[in-house]
Structure 1
Amino acid sequence: MENKFEIDVARIRDDARAHMDRGPVTKTYGADRERLIEVLNQVVATEIVCYLRYSQHAIAASGIDRAQVAAEFTEHAQQEMQHGLWAAERVSQLGGRPDFDPTTLKQRSHTEYVTTDETDLKRMLQENLIAERIVITTYQEMIRWIGESDPTTRRMLERILEEEEEHADDLSDLLGI
């Protein structure tokens, strides 16, 4: 049995013209858009909190291994901010409003903002590894939930997940575990 691919281009063109105000969200979009926007704003908050924690740890770190650890924290902080901006851009593409409200970041974030003694590099590494493990798990759950309903968001989260796994590996190496 032959499976032919056929497409009604005239209907698609008419629909595109009739619904220009919906931007990239077409009739064939399969996700719960409103819920996905909420979830992506949690990603925005989580990534900003991670950026802030890594940045604070990079600046506050002191001790003999400070340079190596601070450099790793700085690199991770930059990547976390980029992740947050990717999620915010996707919220906007889906017709939502990215939520950068600092008064609600902590409540929406999946990770915690933890400060430590400036000489306790091991605890800084541990707290950041815990946070990475949290986001790895939550992003895996989001990816499973999205499935095939929104391939663009799924691919973005998979890209973020890949970098978060690299962060966890880097931190594990620095901890010697």
Structure 2
Amino acid sequence: MPAPSTTNLSSIATIRFRARRHIEEGAITDDYGADRDTVLRLLNEALATEIVCSLRYKRHYHSAKGLTSLSIAQEFLQHAQEEELHAEKFANRITQLGGEPDYSPDTLSTRSHAEYLEGKSIVDMIREDLVAERIAIESYKEIIAYLGDADPTTRRLFEEVLAVEEEHAEDLRTLIHQIGASHTPAA
């Protein structure tokens, strides 16, 4: 196998020179290929989505009653905690890119891709969570495609979160089948 071409690689002296320019930009170097304002908006929307999902899961955790709901409640709690971790990762990336994480409760639900719908029964709760996971999956796939090679760090973050959201969706689908709710008509 031939060695990779070095014709596109910068000299160490050039890299050192560029690293010293615009040092106040932190992680954003001259070769950052994405529109930073758009990436920050997408990250803040994802932050809002994860917060809304965490809040909904926590509501469902506290609303799930009865012995048969105990394991489902624990699943809700686990998902809430994982959504909180995602939110923290998105906030960290926003800060790395020189932005401000937007935690404003006044606009949280309008920035979130997912809705905060409570559901009345356990089945309704699971269905609402599954819909929200599916929304996050589709949104994050589109964001990943948009980012491409322009911002590989943010793309990888979304890919990592996407993998967990897909696990959540599968968990919820399995719960619906386990409690025999697959025959309940969808809204």
State the TM bucket, normalised to the shorter chain: over 0.9
Is residue 107 from structure 1 mapped to residue 138 from structure 2 by the alignment? no
In the TM superposition, what whole-angstrom CA distance separates every residue of 1:77-122 from its partner, at most 9, and x where no partner exists?
A: 00001111111110110110010111110000001111233xx101
- The corresponding residue for 2:126 is 125
Is residue 173 from structure 1 mapped to residue 174 from structure 2 by the alignment? yes
Change in 2 beyond 3 A, CA 1:106/1:14? same
Range moving further from structure 2, 5-14 or 155-164: 5-14
- The corresponding residue for 1:156 is 157
Count how many residue pairs are aligned between Structure 1 and Structure 2: 175
Write the distance in 1 (CA, Å) between the matches of 2:19 and 2:160. Answer: 29
Q: Which runs of 5+ in 1 are unaligned?
A: none
| CA RMSD after TM alignment | 1.4
SS of alignment partner, residue 58 of structure 2: helix
- The corresponding residue for 2:73 is 70
For 1:1-177, list aligned pairs within 5 A. Answer: 4-5=5-6, 6-117=9-120, 120-176=121-177
In the TM superposition, what whole-angstrom CA distance separates every residue of 1:48-82 from its partner, at most 9, and x where no partner exists?
A: 00000000100111134210110000000000011
Per-residue deviation, 1:3: 5.7
Write the distance in 2 (CA, Å) between the matches of 1:81 and 1:2. Answer: 44
SS of alignment partner, residue 172 of structure 1: helix
Write the distance in 2 (CA, Å) between the matches of 1:126 and 1:142. Answer: 24
Q: Give the TM-score taking structure 1 as reference length.
A: 0.95
Range moving further from structure 2, 139-148 or 57-66: 57-66
In the TM superposition, what whole-angstrom CA distance separates every residue of 1:7-51 from its partner, at most 9, and x where no partner exists?
A: 221121112112210101000110011110001000000000000
Write the distance in 2 (CA, Å) between the matches of 1:144 and 1:64. Answer: 43
Write the distance in 2 (CA, Å) between the matches of 1:135 and 1:115. Answer: 17
SS of alignment partner, residue 27 of structure 2: coil
4+ long deviations beyond 3 Å:
none
Q: Which runs of 5+ in 2 are unaligned?
A: 183-187
